[in-house]
Amino acid sequence: MKVNVGKKILKANEEYALENRHLLTEQKKLCLNMISSPGSGKTTILIRTINELKDKIKIGVIEGDVQTDLDAERIRATQAPVIQIETKGACHLNAAQVNRALSNLPINNLDLIFIENVGNLVCPSAFELGESGKIAVLSVVEGDDKPAKYPAIFARAKVLLINKLDLLEAGAQVDFDIERVKADTRKLNKGIKIFAISAKTGAGFAGWYDWLEKEVKNLRGR
C-alpha cells in the first residue's frame, strides 16, 4: 500500500512535469534545475551568471526554499524576474509548484529559466520538474567523497559545477581532490560536463557560459 500511494504521488508529479516540459519545449525555453547541498553557492552562481550574460541571454528564476525569501531578494537585485516558492518544510520542489511559478513568470520574454531547488543533495534529484536538464553544484569544502556517497544527482546532471575554487587556491587547508571528483562523477555519468568555478571571483565561468549559450542556441534552432 505504501508503495502504491508513493507511486500515485509520483504519477501526479510526473503529469505536472510533462505539462511543464510541453510548455517549455513548445516555447523553446531552456529550463535548468539546480541541485546541491545548502550553502554550496547556487544563488551566488545565478547572480553572477545573470549579470554577466545580461546582454546575451534573458534569464528568469524560480527560487525554492523551505522558508524565507532571502534568496529571491538577492536575485531581485539583478532585475531578473523571480518567483519564490516556500515549501514550508518540504525537502524538494515538486512539478505542480513549478507549474504555478511558470505561469507567473513572463516567459515570453525569457530564453532561460533557472529553478533553484531546495538545498538538499538527496531528495530533489528524484522529482522531475519538466526541466531541460539538471545542474549539480558541489563546493570544494563539502569533501571529494560526495559523488560516491550521494550518486543520484551526479548520475543525472547535465553539468557539474565545482564551486568555491577560491578556497582551494587561497592556501586554506581544504582537502579536496578535484580529479577524484571528476573521475567518480564520470563513472556514474559519462557525458556530464564539469566546470570548476569560483562564484566569488568569477574564475572558470567562461566554459559554463559557452555551454549555456550553446544550449539556448540549439533550442532556438530546433
Q: Does residue number 151 form part of the binding site for its own copies (CB under 8 A)?
A: yes
Residues 6+ apart with CB under 8 A from 9: none
Q: Does 76 bind its own copies (CB under 8 A)?
A: no
Site string for its own copies, 22-41 (x = CB under 8 A): ---------------xxx--
Least Å distance between CB 26 and its own copies? 31
In 3D space, the residue among 25, 92, 81 whose CA is nearest the CA of residue 50 turns out to be 81
> Considering the rule CB under 8 A, would residue 45 count as an interface residue with its own copies?
no
Give the dihedral sign, CA 193/165/155/50.
negative
Q: Which stretch binds its own copies (CB under 8 A): 15-23, 24-32, 45-53, 149-157?
A: 149-157
How far is the C-alpha of 68 from the C-alpha of 50, rounded, in Å? 22
Beta bridge partners of 86: 65
CB contact at 8 A, 32 and 135: yes
Q: Residue 122, interface with its own copies (CB under 8 A)?
A: yes
152 belongs to the binding site for its own copies (CB under 8 A):
yes
**H-type helices in 77-150, by residue range?**
95-104, 146-149
Q: Under the criterion CB under 8 A, does residue 150 sit at the interface with its own copies?
A: yes
- Contact footprint for its own copies (CB under 8 A): 1-2, 5, 9, 37-39, 65-68, 70-71, 89, 91, 118-123, 126, 139, 141-143, 145-146, 148-152, 164, 166-167, 170-174, 200
